[in-house]
Amino acid sequence: MVARTLPTAEAEALIDLTRELAAAELAPRAADFETRKEFPREVVRTLGKAGLLGLAYPEEHGGGAQPYEVYLQVLEELAASWMAVALAVSVHTLSCYPLAAFGTDEQKTRWLPDMLGGETLGAYCLSEASSGSDAAALTTRAVRTADGSAYVVDGVKAWVTHGGHADFYNLMVRTGADGPKGISCLLAPADTPGLAPQAPEKKMGLRSSPTTQIALTSARVDADRLIGEEGQGFTIALSALDGGRLGIAACATGLSQAALAYSLGYAKERAQFGRPILDFQGVSFMLADMATQVEAARSLYLTAARLRDAGRPYGRQAAMAKLFATDTAMRVTTDAVQVLGGYGYVEDYPVERYMREAKVLQIFEGTNQIQRLVIGRSLAKDGA
């Protein structure tokens, strides 16, 4: 069990609750749902009823009013039992951010309680097939109707987590000229006419987490669903991604912790040449490196979270945490397969799934090459 330093007794109780839920509701189901490629909507709804889908938001609209450092440690605990469910919580939290941070009081009162209470599930639509890392080049266009009452949206969004299962979609769309200043954010309900989720992508890992394209064909979104002002969408998107990157860092750390714990347990019990393989330096040193990397990843994301909680700039640290924690997840899960040898390569043991899941963490919420670009630009601007 991970030893944690938490800011309050309430936070300690929350982590204990999360561990109990993860052990009872997540871990026993993960392999089966992954095999069947089925999204565990009811499991996510259960987490919502337990208050885990609005932890990082104020109590005023039904949130948990928890510091980000606590919310992220909850994500880590969930990811250690079932990565796809932790990702669902992270993506939903990200999807609530535009409304919570940039919406009007009337918009928040109208929609935010159901979001934070887990009654509705969110999706975040930024990427497109031809503008993944270059998000400012998106082409999905929204044109305001002559009477100003709605936007008509045409285009295709790509790599949408919860596509086909979400109740609302944050659409980053072009309402103005080319470039970042022409992008706006619309909060579209799932039943918007002309909004059509496509067939799920066939992925290497995270198979119980649906990823689809969203086709928008003359989709009519009411004008009162514009979040922020026209032209503010790219600012909203970048602001949301800083927090989202920390969510992925926490998920990656949880996955790494699961791989470390499983391979350590295996190394204690697996005997070769009359001794547990943990007694052999080649194995014990590998596990020592794995444990060190996991602790470092955890420390990095917590440092960034504490900056965020203190109201200080944390974008560089968020990029560093996402970069390091996801690269660590790839290394640690690969080493976990190696510790198990041939058994690590078969589906009877979970580490092959961990390894497949780790790969995508280096890609979404900004590839790790983009994280290095963000860090490098920050260094050039602000110094070390």
Q: Where are the beta strands (DSSP E) in the chain?
A: 122-125, 141-144, 150-161, 168-174, 183-189, 195-197, 211-222, 226-227, 271-272, 275-276
* Contact by Cβ (8 Å): 214, 125: yes
Tell me the residue type at 94: L
- The encoded tokens of residue 211 equal 């990823």
Q: Which helix (H) or strand (E) holds 266?
A: helix 233-269
**105-116 helix and 83-102 helix, angle to the nearest 10 degrees:** 170
Of the listed 25, 34, 69, 365, which one is catalytic? Answer: 365
**Is there a contact between 327 and 345 (Cβ–Cβ < 8 Å)?**
no
Judge whether 365 counts as a catalytic residue: yes
* Amino acid in position 116: L
**Which one, of 229, 234, 221, 225, lies nearest residue 106 by Cα?**
225
Rounded Cα–Cα distance for residues 276 and 267 (Å): 6
| Of residues 58, 51, 97, 95, the one with CA closest to residue 74 | 51
| Residues annotated as catalytic (active site), given as ranges | 365
